[in-house]
Amino acid sequence: MVKEQAKTGGKDAGGAPARRAADRGRYGRLSRERVLASALDLVDREGLSALSMRRLGAELGVEAMALYRYAEGKDALLDGLVEALYLKLEERLAAEADVSAEEPDWRGMLHRIASATYDVCLAHPQVVPLLTTRMLAVPLARRPLAVLKDHERVLVLLREAGLDERRTADAFRAFTAWLLGYVSAELRPMVDNAEESDPAFRLGLHRMPSHELPRLREMAPALAGRGGPEGLAAGLDALLDRFTEAR
């Protein structure tokens, strides 16, 4: 028996010690939260193209196979990044609620959700494309719980506004489209050559035929700026007015 244990490194028939060792990375025992946080940090630094099970395992100091307990594959890892983003949104909303002197009404809370989403997305711009691409690939019921809880928050607030079921669904779609569309527009690349000091060459206006695109060339400097939280809030108010005034 002693010899047999020596051959197997002291593991039992199920191999539990070996599995426990595989789950202990460079920075301690693994968890889903730690795996997703490390994936988010990697993508923040190097972009989505850098993410793979092998590379993430190296970041955590474990073999890639150890990660399959927390994500079944690359697609699951991408869904996990979306989950990590929405978990950060939940944390931000909870922190704001703790310091707020009063609870906002339904409209104020929708503004708070939109503003917090904007801030989280701009802090993790490399993950933002997944908010669209993964939602196109993943059915509603299979989305991460943190995403579904965000959907629930918005729907509850829209019903509190007095909208019926049909208008709540319409307003929910419009809210989501405005918020994600606005964030995507804020993050779109505009600078052609960052080393150029001249605005025209910095934006690459010389690449645009003036006779075909006169208005775009004229507006490019203004379009290159961000609308910021103020633009997000103004558009959201216009959207909400559209649905509530027609009740």
Q: What is the rounded distance in angstroms from the CA atom of residue 120 to the CA atom of residue 138? A: 22
**Over 70: is that where the pLDDT of 8 sits?**
no
pLDDT in tens, 103-123: 889 999 999 999 999 999 999
Q: What is the rounded distance in angstroms from the CA atom of residue 79 to the CA atom of residue 177? A: 19
Mean pLDDT score, 47-51:
95
Q: What is the rounded distance in angstroms from the CA atom of residue 130 to the CA atom of residue 210? A: 35
Inter-residue contact 185 to 226 (CB < 8 Å): no
In the block, tokens 């509603």 appear at: 140
Which of 16-20, 96-100, 121-125, 139-143 is least confident?
Answer: 16-20
pLDDT in tens, 176-234: 999 999 999 999 999 999 999 999 999 999 999 999 999 999 999 999 999 999 999 99
Which of 3-12, 26-35, 81-90 is least confident?
Answer: 3-12
Q: What is the rounded distance in angstroms from the CA atom of residue 117 to the CA atom of residue 129? A: 14
pLDDT in tens, 148-191: 999 999 999 999 999 999 999 999 999 999 999 999 999 999 99
Q: Predicted confidence band at 21 (pLDDT cuts at 50, 70, 90)?
A: very low
Q: What is the rounded distance in angstroms from the CA atom of residue 75 to the CA atom of residue 237? A: 36
Handedness of CA 183, 186, 190, 196 (dihedral sign): negative
Inter-residue contact 67 to 25 (CB < 8 Å): no
Q: What is the pLDDT of residue 24?
A: 56
Q: What is the CA radius of gyration of the chain?
A: 24
Q: pTM score, two decimals?
A: 0.83
Mean pLDDT score, 30-47:
94
- Give the containing element (helix H, strand E) for 118: helix 106-123
Mean pLDDT of the chain: 88
**Over 90: is that where the pLDDT of 1 sits?**
no
Q: Predicted confidence band at 34 (pLDDT cuts at 50, 70, 90)?
A: very high
**Which domains occur in the chain, in start order?**
1-71 (1.10.10.60), 74-190+225-247 (1.10.357.10)
Q: What is the pLDDT of residue 207?
A: 95
| Displacement of CA 217 from its chain's centroid (Å) | 32
- Which one-letter amino acid corresponds to residue 69? R
Q: What is the rounded distance in angstroms from the CA atom of residue 88 to the CA atom of residue 94? A: 10
Q: What is the pLDDT of residue 151?
A: 98
